[in-house]
Structure 1
């Protein structure tokens, strides 16, 4: 563990809440999908239906932002798979730190590399897309991502600080790339045209996609794992 990670984790564990209720509440923040993804996804829907002079451009930005979030999630999980494995702090006996609610034992996390944080990559990309459309709302979205999605995961020992910082930077970079005029227009224009022409299947698909984004496709992962074990 590098000095930066050690300093942050030591500070957090030394100043950890001594209230069981507070620690349970922080753990809940890492588990409730309504906290992790629903808030930012709701902002995207608000941006989609907002009636202002940038109506069409905003819709393109929403599509590009969703594309960036999905790409960030895929890239994050590929990096976690192919980069050297990094055990999570809560599971590493060499860390010698006591994390609040250290009984957090989701089985898959033991075998899922800590670096980079796919939460940071995906929701960092979504928050950055919001920022590129509405600066004030975007700043709040970025702060929300850091304080309510990422920091609790570091506090509970699910990630090192560098896991979430690297993921956040990569997610923001992907959002900036996907929302550039040349890329955004090529991706968003045909999708926007299809939704406007076929609104019923278009919005149905958008709803299902957003639901899966909020859960980070966990149901598909669980189903895949169950099928793999059955075979």
Structure 2
């Protein structure tokens, strides 16, 4: 355990709010409403803006969604490839008491803490928003840091370095995927297809955004259940 992570987690574990405030922080962390259901609608709003840049903006929205999928996939792969790291709340050697209390989540227990897939996914999306609108993007980045990343450190689900590395990787993925030379190779053809086939495009967009909001959790559980019975 490095001193940076240990000092911050020790400090956060010693912060005690009232019962209602603690429940509020837990709700913010647990509910999809406070994650993707805040950021994904911003992308829809940007998609339907009509001005001289609307075609470029729609390509950027598509590129941002793809960046989010890539970030989530990379995050899940890294948790399997990198050495396993126990989450702070489950590390008995730390002797810290977190606001999350005694939780028994088999998924989190067996899921490496490093890096944070939450930070990776939603920082990737927030970065895409920032590239389209600096003013809205700054708010999106701040929201992601304060309402998605910070609660996970406070509740003991991640170390600060889990979140910082995840955020950095997510930002880097979006910066790469939205570059003109790369974006036009996939976003432009997809945009042309959506213009020719608006009905199936809207249907697929809804399904994709729903899965991003829930971080493909139900699909993962379904796949895990199938694999166990094979």
Match of 1:102 in 2: 101
Matched with 2:148 is: 149
Residues 204-228 of structure 1: CA deviation (Å, up to 9, x unaligned): 0000000000000000111122223
Give unmatched runs, 5+ long, in structure 1.
Answer: none
CA–CA distance in 2 between the matches of 1:5 and 1:142?
A: 22
Q: How many residues align?
A: 230
Q: Distance in 1 between matches of 2:8 and 2:199?
A: 49
Q: Which residue of 2 aligns with 1:2?
A: 2
Write out aligned runs for 1:127-146 (5 A).
Answer: 127-146=126-145
CA root-mean-square deviation: 0.9
1:78-123 alpha-carbon deviations (Å, 9 max, x no partner): 0000100001000111111110122233210100100000000010
Paired position in structure 1 for 2:38:
39
Give the match for residue 163 of structure 1. 162
CA distance in 2, matches of 1:26, 1:228: 34
Matched, 1:120 2:125: no
Partner of 1:88: 87
Are 2:120 and 2:166, in contact at CA under 8 Å, matched by a contact in 1? Answer: yes
> Partners in 2 of 1:20 and 1:227 — Cα distance?
40
- Structure 1 equivalent of residue 47 of structure 2: 48
Q: Is the 8 A contact 2:100 2:156 kept in 1?
A: no
Question: In 2, are the aligned partners of 1:24 and 1:101 still within 8 Å (CA)?
Answer: no
How big is the shift at 1:187?
Answer: 1.3
Q: 1:187-202 maps to which residues of 2 (within 5 A)?
A: 187-202=186-201
Structure 1: distance between partners of 2:188 and 2:29: 35
* Structure 2: unaligned runs, 5 residues or longer: none
CA distance in 1, matches of 2:118, 2:104: 18
Q: Could you tell me how far apart the structure 2 residues matched to 1:27 and 1:176 are?
A: 31
Question: Does structure 1 retain, via aligned residues, the 8 Å contact 2:89–2:155?
Answer: yes
1:181-220 CA-partner distances (Å, limit 9, x unpaired): 0011111011001100000000100000000000000001
How many angstroms does 1:157 deviate by?
A: 0.3
Cα distance in 2 for residues equivalent to 1:26 and 1:87: 22
Q: Distance in 1 between matches of 2:28 and 2:6?
A: 23
1:70 is matched with which residue? Answer: 69
2:24 is the counterpart of 1:14: no
Q: Partner of 1:75: helix, strand, or coil?
A: helix
- Taking the aligned partners of 2:25 and 2:225, their CA distance within structure 1 comes to 29
TM-score normalised per structure 1: 0.97
- Which secondary structure does the structure 2 equivalent of 1:94 belong to? helix
1:217 aligns with 2:216: yes
